[in-house]
Amino acid sequence: MNPIFVAIDTPDLQRATELAQALCGSVGGVKLGLEFFCANGPEGVARIAEVGISLFLDLKLHDIPNTVAGAMRSLAPLRPAIVTVHATGGPAMLEAAKAAAATETKVIAVTVLTSLDQSDLRSIGVDDGPPDQVQRLAALARNSGLDGIVCSGVEVKAAQLAWTNGFFVVPGVRPEGSAVGDQKRVVTPRAALGDGASILVIGRPITEAADPAAAARDIAAFL
């Protein structure tokens, strides 16, 4: 399986569709986040699905268990390969999300956003650094019956201590020489896979390339 999922972060349905069409066959799938979903809704997701590419819905659901379960049931007809929830929603929410998801959908818990560092965690009342917090939330996700977690490549090894052979989705992946942007904890694709990543989420280095499919193939060639 191609481990690269491309983050298509745009509200423009036409642009997203063109990217999905161009990338189909060159990557494992595409990730659609809140920006796309808020602009285009389930109908927009269905349009992208028509391309025939695997879909990762990065919606980071976080609410009371009943509400998150209802959201999962609403997403089920779209048959996404992956949907994200926030691990900090707690065990009851995580269990409800998994129970309500479509059978073929992996429910993945977001641990610590890649835009946060230790000082950011302290500002929201978490005294531990990212590795300890990721390890704690990985154990929670595993015990709640989820399929895996989202964590930065910097914390994959820590996550494996809590979840041997877990399914780890790693965003904030940047090829050598790429701009970091708003990410604070980034790794290269090869380093992330070497440390245990299952899926690599790569956005701008591919979507902003003159030839996105060629850029994706070039990255894959060095994995």
d(CA 73, CA 88): 21
102 touches 76 (CB < 8 A): yes
Confirm whether 60 is a catalytic residue. yes
Residue with tokens 């269990």: 95
Length of the chain: 223
Rounded to 5 degrees, what are φ and ψ at 86?
Answer: -90, 125
Tell me the HSE value of 16 on the side-chain side, using a 13 A CA sphere: 26
d(CA 186, CA 8): 18
Characterize the bridge pairing of strands 167-170 and 82-86: unpaired
159 touches 134 (CB < 8 A): yes
Strand-pair partners of 86: 110
Q: Which of 77, 126, 120 is nearest to 101 (CA)?
A: 77
Of the candidates 60, 98, 106, 157, the residue annotated as catalytic is: 60
d(CA 169, CA 75): 20
213 touches 183 (CB < 8 A): no
- Write the CA distances from 132 to 136, 160, 177, 213, integer angstroms: 6, 12, 29, 37
Active site residues: 60
